């Protein structure tokens, strides 16, 4: 969806104050005005819990105001707003994150958060016209979208709350009565984002990817550094027996595979085995040829990956089944790698080819085994963190696990993940994959498979992956 105004902070430098003059160009549309009172600050900051640069609003030691504004042109009957918010804990009193003001003393509506974490929508008279039942989680990103129909007598505001920040499905929807007083659009002057009220002393909130549209809901954002926070594919989209291809691998609940490497020994959709649901990906390897699925990430310092593997027989030599890679910019390098030996032992390797760990017990065959891997790029090549564990199906208890903070992962970002027969060895026994998932900017393992969210009744159409290309 096209925005008339949008800013994702990608051009900012962490620690630098946000100004009108450094907020445009790469980041998007410059802020029209910024306001600070007392000891409040607005700075660029490294995003908590995901990669990239965001806007950090701090009220300071004397509880000041801190907000950024855009003016709007009164040429449409309704407007759509989107922003991401990361509350750094719960405030001791209510705070506001977004406001529409018609002059310096009158607002059209406000959206804020109570000390409980619930969102509260108020009209121009300060009356509460909507309270959410769900609560925003402290120290976790959420996406908020609003539709504003402006009128002094028949105005209406619809709020959609996405607790899974990049999901296409909202967790709660609030719609005000059509008697909402939002005042005439002709009087509207600006939208304010940040902490435009006097919140708790030393309260901090992070906001990013603020956008305004005059045509439709904006949906998830392109932060300029990563795609959707969580990627999943449960192999449920293809016709049984059909060859797996990038263009038949996704739908509204399954992220399209970015690439299927090497058509030799092509994989198919199968109902013979399934970790969950009714299908899985069936691989029939060819001696000496690799065949795997590629997911591209837009650069993150830390990521987690999960897959379910059903192995029917062992490879003749070590077989690589899962890996993180650097970005593929005319070439790539493998980072953390998972290899299964001819004796069913699992090994974890780093980018230098060093064997970090080997399992003591052989991996079970002819049953679903869940692999979980986490990697974080270190400050130097030898200070990367890697964690790995494998489990019986959805068990919360690992069969075995391992972690280290001295892995050589280089100093580039994590730019991709691969699943399947990743190397060219003599493994020819068939196997199955299911429940593929990647979490960018993760803090640990993804965990067992969960039921995908059900699209709301109003949802229509397919949501493709949010990989490459600009999106507001």
0.85 surpassed by pTM: no
What is d(CA 38, CA 64) in angstroms, rounded to the nearest whole number? 5
What is d(CA 157, CA 154) in angstroms, rounded to the nearest whole number? 10
Q: Please name the CATH architecture into which domain 230-440 falls.
A: Sandwich (2.60)
At a CB cut-off of 8 Å and minimum separation 6, what does 186 contact? 74
Assigned token pair, 166:
């990049």
Residue 34 has phi, psi (to 5 degrees) of -130, 150
4: closest CA among 145, 187, 195, 210?
A: 210
Q: How would you write the pLDDT of the chain (472 residues) with one tens digit per residue?
A: 566 888 988 778 788 899 888 888 778 888 988 999 888 999 998 888 666 789 999 998 877 899 999 877 556 678 899 999 999 988 888 899 999 887 667 777 889 999 999 999 987 777 888 889 999 988 888 999 999 887 777 778 899 999 888 888 888 999 887 766 666 555 656 889 999 987 667 899 999 999 998 888 999 886 654 434 678 999 998 999 999 988 888 876 788 888 888 766 689 999 999 999 999 999 998 888 899 999 887 557 788 999 999 999 988 888 999 999 987 644 578 899 999 999 999 999 999 999 999 999 899 999 999 999 999 888 788 899 999 999 999 999 999 999 999 999 987 778 889 999 998 888 888 999 999 999 876 778 999 999 886 644 433 333 333 322 223 3
Question: How many of the other CB atoms lie within 10 Å of CB of 328?
Answer: 14
Same fold, 5-213 and 230-440: yes
What is d(CA 145, CA 147) in angstroms, rounded to the nearest whole number? 7
Residue 319 in contact with residue 291, Cβ under 8 Å?
no
Question: How many of the other CB atoms lie within 10 Å of CB of 73?
Answer: 10
Fold classification of 5-213 (topology level): Jelly Rolls (2.60.120)
Domain spans of the chain, in order of start: 5-213, 230-440
**Beta strands in 350-430, from DSSP E residues, in sequence order:** 355-358, 368-376, 384-392, 400-407, 414-421
Residues facing 194 on adjacent strands: 67
Sequential DSSP letters for 114-134:
-TTSEEEEEETTS-EEEEEEE
């Amino acid at each position: 969806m096209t925005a008339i105004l949008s800013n994702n902070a990608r051009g900012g430098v962490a620690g630098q104050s946000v100004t009108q003059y450094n907020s445009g160009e790469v980041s998007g549309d410059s802020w029209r005005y910024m306001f600070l009172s007392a000891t409040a600050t607005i700075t660029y900051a490294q995003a908590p819990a995901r990669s990239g640069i965001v806007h950090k609003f701090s009220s300071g030691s004397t509880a000041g105001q801190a907000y950024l504004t855009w003016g709007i042109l009164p040429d449409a009957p309704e407007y759509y707003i989107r922003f991401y918010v990361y509350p750094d804990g719960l405030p001791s009193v209510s705070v506001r994150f977004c406001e529409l003001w018609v002059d310096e003393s009158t607002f059209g509506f406000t959206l804020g958060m109570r000390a409980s974490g619930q969102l509260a929508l108020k009209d121009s008279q300060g009356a509460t016209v909507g309270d959410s039942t769900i609560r925003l989680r402290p120290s976790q990103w959420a996406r908020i979208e609003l539709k504003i129909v402006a009128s002094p007598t028949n105005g209406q505001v619809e709020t959609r709350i996405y607790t899974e920040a990049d999901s296409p499905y909202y967790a709660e929807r609030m719609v005000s009565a059509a008697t909402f007083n939002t005042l005439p659009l002709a009087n509207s002057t600006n939208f304010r984002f940040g902490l435009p009220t006097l919140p708790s002393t030393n309260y901090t909130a992070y906001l990013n990817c603020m956008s305004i549209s005059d045509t439709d809901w904006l949906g998830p954002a392109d932060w300029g550094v990563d795609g959707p926070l969580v990627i999943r594919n449960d192999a449920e989209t293809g016709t049984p027996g059909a060859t797996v291809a990038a263009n038949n691998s996704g739908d509204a609940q399954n992220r399209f595979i970015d690439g299927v490497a090497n058509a030799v020994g092509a994989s198919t959709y199968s109902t013979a085995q399934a970790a969950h649901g009714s299908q899985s990906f069936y691989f029939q390897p060819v001696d000496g040829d690799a065949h795997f699925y590629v997911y591209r990430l837009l650069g993150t310092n830390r990521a987690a990956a999960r897959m379910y593997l059903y192995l029917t027989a062992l490879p003749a030599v070590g077989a690589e089944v899962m890996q993180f890679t650097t970005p593929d910019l005319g070439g790539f390098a493998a980072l953390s790698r998972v290899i299964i030996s001819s004796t069913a032992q699992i090994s974890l390797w780093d980018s230098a080819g060093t064997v970090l760990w080997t399992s003591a017990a052989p991996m079970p065959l002819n049953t679903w085994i869940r692999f979980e891997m986490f990697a974080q790029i270190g400050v130097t090549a030898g200070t990367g963190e890697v964690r790995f564990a494998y489990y019986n199906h959805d068990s919360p208890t690992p069969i075995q696990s391992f972690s280290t903070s001295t892995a050589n992962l280089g100093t580039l970002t994590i730019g991709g993940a691969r699943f399947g027969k990743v190397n060219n060895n003599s493994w020819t026994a068939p196997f199955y994959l299911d429940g593929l998932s990647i979490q960018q900017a993760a803090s640990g393992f993804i965990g067992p498979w969960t039921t995908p969210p059900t699209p709301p009744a109003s949802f229509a159409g397919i949501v493709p992956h949010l990989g490459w290309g600009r999106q507001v």
